[in-house]
Structure 1
Amino acid sequence: MAHILMIESWVGGTARLLPPMIKKLGHEYSFVTRNPSHYGAQEGKDHPVVAGAKNTIVTETNDIDGLCEVLEGIHKREAFDAVLTICDYYITTVTRVAERLELPHPFPKNSTVARRKDQVRKALTQHGLANPGFDVVNSVEEALHAGNDLGYPLVIKPTDLASSAFVRMVHNGDELRESCRAIMEFETNFRDQKRDTACLIEEYMSGEEVSVEAITIDGKTTIIGVTDKSISGTPFFIEDGHMFPAQLDDKLAEEACELAESALEAIGFDNGISHTEIKLTERGPRIVEINPRPAGNYISELIEHVTGKSLVEAFVRLAIGEKPSMIHERNGAGSAAIKFLMPDLGGVVKSISGIETLENNAHVTRWHLDAKVGGHVNEPIDNGCYIGHLVAVDPNGGAARAIAENAAESLKIEVSTSEKEEVNE
């Protein structure tokens, strides 16, 4: 049995799958966080990362040197066997702690490059791989100059954030100026870490978006499969659904996988699970970004429905120094999909109806809804607007997405922008 050190976590998605997987494999973990209230209880139950922990260590996780000193002292008593995180903002922290404590971890040596969208773009260009036109800017003036050079529409994004935060399509200088200022004025991220406020400006890439899931061990990459993605919320980029496997022409799928593998090699990705997002444009596939960790948003669950293999299990095994196999087998399902439930606007929930249709749908394997009548929901501008999700399975073919979308349409959530307006209990 291994004693794993878990440093911070996301709150949703894979964060809820990881704790029970660690226990299922016969291991235990200590959870390290600077702010336990970030993982607040829901419906009277502790968050899984807190509830499943052997113990919770409360200390400053944003000071890497100080954290290493604290954990070094505890390590002498507790004897940790590995260190991991499922939160993007702490991947570099984990690799530093692992080096200091001489522990295995599930990430590549140069995880910082993979985490930085601008460095990925530069590495792709240096290795002769296809890229959209792009520029990295540090002021509004530089942004406007880049916009004129590249031509509109453009996509502007932070170089170091996650969950599509501040990512926006812009059509002119005024929109570019507004978005650039918003990114540059956001000086600390959602975990209170000081950030690089540079902006990445790219040509807008039109086409279907997919992600290639892969595992790399000792520099050798194995492709697990291709997941499709639906995007909504223009001019924002909100992921509102996924399906595995993507229903693609064989040639397109092969091209996407080849590009993903070449891109991983270009950034020196030598170890770990990767989630590479790709646009299938008229000029061929193009990298959107590379994530040096398992796909979020329950994609791992979809893959397991179809292949019988778990990305989360492989992630834990990598963390403790094992070499998991992800060569998959059919598991009875033709496809599996997730549909995220989002409000049409931010405000107060007036009414919810149609829940019984989800409960009675034989193809919906599970569903979850956070929104409650009288509660507040966020404006749909990024992935932080989710108010729930549902997972659907097509046992025989590739229709899981359609099943999930039809099921979601049966759920009606009415939102009012006025908090004074009466709600329907």
Structure 2
Amino acid sequence: MNSVVVIESNTSGTGRIFLKRIIDYGYKPVFLTKNPQLYNFLKDFEYINIFEVDTENIKKILEICEFIQNNGHDICGVFSSSEYYIQITAEVADSLNLPGADSNAIKNCRNKYIQNQILSLAGLHIPKTYLIKDATEIEKNLIGLNFPMIAKPIEGSGSVGVKICKSMFELKKHCCELLSKKSNERGMSIDNKVLIEEYIEGEEFSAEVFNGKLIGITKKYLGELPFFVEIGHDYPAELKKDIKDRIESDICRAVEALGLRWGACHVEFRLKSQYVYFIEINPRLAGDLIPELVKYAQGIDLVDNQLRMALGLQSDLKRTRSKRAGIRFFEPEKSGEIKSFFVDSYKNESGIIEIKQYKKKGDYIKKTGDFRERAGHIIFDINKLEIDRLDQILTQSLFIS
């Protein structure tokens, strides 16, 4: 039986999509996880084997792989849609002589301090960066900072723990909170060092890259400071040709310097005085369903291509469309209980491609300053749905008390 080993997953979005694609390709998913309860969508799949295992331990993972191989499974690929597990996935793939990314390149990239050093040595623009290992270093080494400054974990995803600080008091407080953490929101042990970065003013974008080549540029919309909640995206971004060419040149230099030549990369950056300032590069597909925007706008299926890479199949990055798509998230204005949340009446409205709820009436939503506070999303055709109408749907659908 031909199988694909899946090591953990996104808890929503592309996590479900990847499992369905694996089945559609005729393979049996073998899902390895420390906690199956994290994934509500697993119950929707009958054709799947689930093993509970310590997914931070490569020896334990390889033991499971050996077990399933000895029980009639031919492992044809190893895969994860979660950034937290892509390094160990690459190590497992290498151990099994299967296609995969360079695990050392991923390791360097996921450590944001090392990543910034590599980009700086390549002559690219990055924010001024300081590494904090314990609370005593904050005042001793950071005298004379120009506030505001950004404080964030040295590793992470989904804007968890990223905060802008307007004073030394705020900076010390947030750094101490981050330094005290021993595990992340997934319960994984972490390197709890902290990065302090210069705040770069300017429009924020991301670049979607595959096999070292630029696929397109996404315009990013952020919520209110001090956090960096991504409340929406437009794809592709509207940019002048000379700016786009400069972005493409710098993006390709950056991923080459980091050795990220295999599969998808998601590059976050800001434009300041027409220069590209790299915020961070993630050696994975974009989250926030951006791959769905790319698919609708250009006909390029990044999800499918990433899976094909893991299976050793040829990628297909040919553009077949020229449209524009956007996504906006239902964000609560405050923590509280959902009193009403209705979106069904909008599903057939012109310009709406998809509208979904993650929460329902009676659920409690906590403002977290990251992706975990979202209640749902709308994917739409930018050329068909008026912005005023979009705002009306977003503001009139969700009520919190």
With the length of structure 2 as denominator, give the TM-score of the two structures: 0.93
Does the 8 A contact of 1:108 with 1:269 survive in 2? Answer: no
* 1:341 aligns to 2:341 (yes or no): no
1:58-137 matches, cutoff 5 A: 58-77=52-71, 78-105=73-100, 109-137=104-132
Among 284, 295, 303, the alignment partner of 1:304 is 295
Is there any run of 5+ residues in structure 2 with no aligned partner, and where? none
Q: Please tell me the residue identity of whatever aligns with 1:121.
A: N
User: What residue is the counterpart of 1:414 in the other structure?
Assistant: 399
Please tell me whether residue 239 in structure 1 is matched to residue 239 in structure 2.
Answer: no
Cα distance per residue 1:305-324 (max 9 Å; x no partner): 11111000000100011230
Q: Secondary structure at the match of 1:258?
A: helix
Matched with 2:253 is 262
Say if 1:392 and 1:404, in contact at 8 Å, map to a contact too.
Answer: no
> Does structure 1 residue 402 correspond to structure 2 residue 390?
no
Q: Secondary structure at the match of 1:202?
A: strand
* Contact 2:127/2:279, CA 8 A, preserved across alignment: no
Shift of 1:59: 1.6
Matched, 1:272 2:263: yes
Tell me the distance in 2 between the aligned counterparts of 1:133 and 1:404.
41
Describe the SS at the equivalent of 1:30. Answer: strand
> How far is 1:252 from its partner?
1.8
Query: How far apart are the structure 2 equivalents of 1:411 and 1:124?
Result: 44
What's the secondary structure of 2:226's corresponding residue?
Answer: coil
Counterpart secondary structure, 2:189: coil
Q: CA deviation at 1:130?
A: 1.4
Structural mapping, 1:280-319, within 5 Å: 280-282=271-273, 284-319=275-310
Change (3 A) 1:53 1:62: farther
Distance, in Å, in 2 between the alignment partners of 1:357 and 1:235 is 34
Q: Does 1:369 align with 2:369?
A: no
Secondary structure in structure 2 of the residue aligned to 1:80: strand
Deviates more, 1:187-196 or 1:137-146: 137-146
Counterpart secondary structure, 1:210: strand
Q: Deviations over 1:210-243 (max 9, x none)?
A: 1111111xxxx22111111100131000000011
- Between 1:114-123 and 1:406-415, the stretch displaced more is 406-415
Give SS of 1:81's match: strand
| Deviation, structure 1 residue 162 | 0.7
**Distance of aligned partners of 1:87 and 1:192 in 2 relative to their CA distance in 1, 3 Å threshold:** same
Structure 1 outlier segments of 4+, above 6 Å = none
- Give the whole-Å Cα distance in 1 for the aligned partners of 2:254 and 2:385: 30
Which residue identity does 1:23 align to in structure 2?
I
1:328 aligns with 2:319: yes
2:91, 2:103 within 8 Å by CA — same for their partners in 1?
no
Gaps of 5+ in 1: 417-425
**C-alpha distance 191-351 of structure 1, shift in aligned 2 (>3 A):** closer
**Which of 156, 161, 169 is equivalent to 1:161?**
156
Aligned counterparts, 1:162-181, within 5 A: 162-181=157-176
Question: Contact (CA 8 Å) 2:330, 2:394: kept in 1 or not?
Answer: no
More deviation, 251-260/151-160: 251-260
Q: State the percentage of identical aligned residues.
A: 28
| 1:19 lines up with 2:19 in the alignment | yes
Indicate the SS of the match to 2:136: helix
Cα offset, 1:295, TM superposition: 0.9
Q: What is the aligned-residue RMSD (CA, Å)?
A: 2.1
CA separation of 1:79 and 1:359: change in aligned 2, threshold 3 A? closer
Offset of 1:141 from its aligned partner?
2.8
User: What's the CA shift for 1:386?
Assistant: 0.7
1:423 is matched with: none
